[in-house]
Amino acid sequence: MGRNSRLVYSTETGRIQPQNEARVPVVPAADGIVRIRRETKGRKGKGVTTVSGIPVNPDELKVIAKSLKKLCGSGGSLKHGVIEIQGDHRDRVKGELEKQGYTVKLSGG
C-alpha cells in the first residue's frame, strides 16, 4: 500500500434509513398551551400569524391549518409543526381554537 491508497470517497455506507423501519407520526411534546404570535423576522417585513403547540398528529394538523387559512381568507403553510398564516389574524385564530377546546395564549409582540 502506497501513500495515495487511502479511501477518499465511498458509496457503500452513509446516512441511509433502513427500509424496514416504519415511519410513525410523532406528536410533539407540549405543555397543553397553544401559542399564537405575529412574526415578521426573515419575511421581508411581511407579517404572519404563527400557531404552535397544538398536540395532534401531523395529518390532523394539516386539516386544522387548512380550516384556519380558510377562516382567515388567506394563504399560509405548515412547517415543522408550526402553522403559518399570512397576515395578522391572531384574534380570529384565537377565537376559533378556543371554540375547539384548546387553551390558547397570545405570545410575542
User: Using one digit for the tens of pLDDT, what is the confidence trace for 23-78?
Assistant: 555 555 567 789 999 988 877 878 899 999 888 888 999 999 999 999 999 999 99
Q: What is the pTM of this model?
A: 0.69
* Number of other residues whose CB lies within 10 A of the CB of residue 93: 23
Task: Specify whether the CB–CB gap between 28 and 57 falls below 8 A.
Answer: no
HSE value, Cβ hemisphere, 13 Å, CA-based, for 6: 2
DSSP 87: S
83: helix, coil or strand? Answer: strand
CA distance 109 to 88: 11
In the numeric block, which cell numbers belong to residue 28? 410533539
Q: When comparing pLDDT for 11 and 70, which is higher?
A: 70
Q: Which domains does the chain have, with CATH numbers?
A: 33-106 (3.30.780.10)
CA distance 59 to 55: 12
3-state helix, strand, coil in the chain (%, to 5): 25, 25, 55
